[in-house]
Structure 1
Amino acid sequence: MTYMTSEQLAEKLNYTTRYVRNILTHEVLVEGRHYIRPFGRRRILYLWENIEADMFEDAVPNIPMANGEKCHG
């Protein structure tokens, strides 16, 4: 698992650190899935693999198939 600070995540996603802290952390990302607070402290560490996986999951359209199932592709 790759742990990142808000500064590192902002650089990787090409966002500002302020946007990561104020918008993504409070409105998009889920504590325990996308970030943790080690040792119950204020500092936040982001979990890159989970963030990346969810970004790609949201980016791939669900295409309905003839039998009603969904195809990710």
Structure 2
Amino acid sequence: MSIIVNGDPSDAVPGTTIAELLQTLDVPTRGVAVAVDAEVVPRGEWETFAVADGARVEVLVAVQGG
């Protein structure tokens, strides 16, 4: 198995924290929300929340415009 990010398999190793995953994906730290297996993970837990093997991670980035 692997970690799925936004519907695609990722090279992330199980046990990687959300903070590490976002850094690897080069995602900005502001205007971002993360859900793991359909549960939103509060920003305060990103440094310690380890992503399990087979987890489905959704990374949402706010975009300005109309």
Same fold, judged at TM 0.5 (above): no
Higher helix share: 1
Higher strand share: 2
Highest RCO, 1 vs 2 (Cα 8 Å, sep ≥ 6): 2
For normalisation by structure 2, the TM-score amounts to 0.32
For normalisation by structure 1, the TM-score amounts to 0.31
Structure with the greater alpha carbon radius of gyration: 1
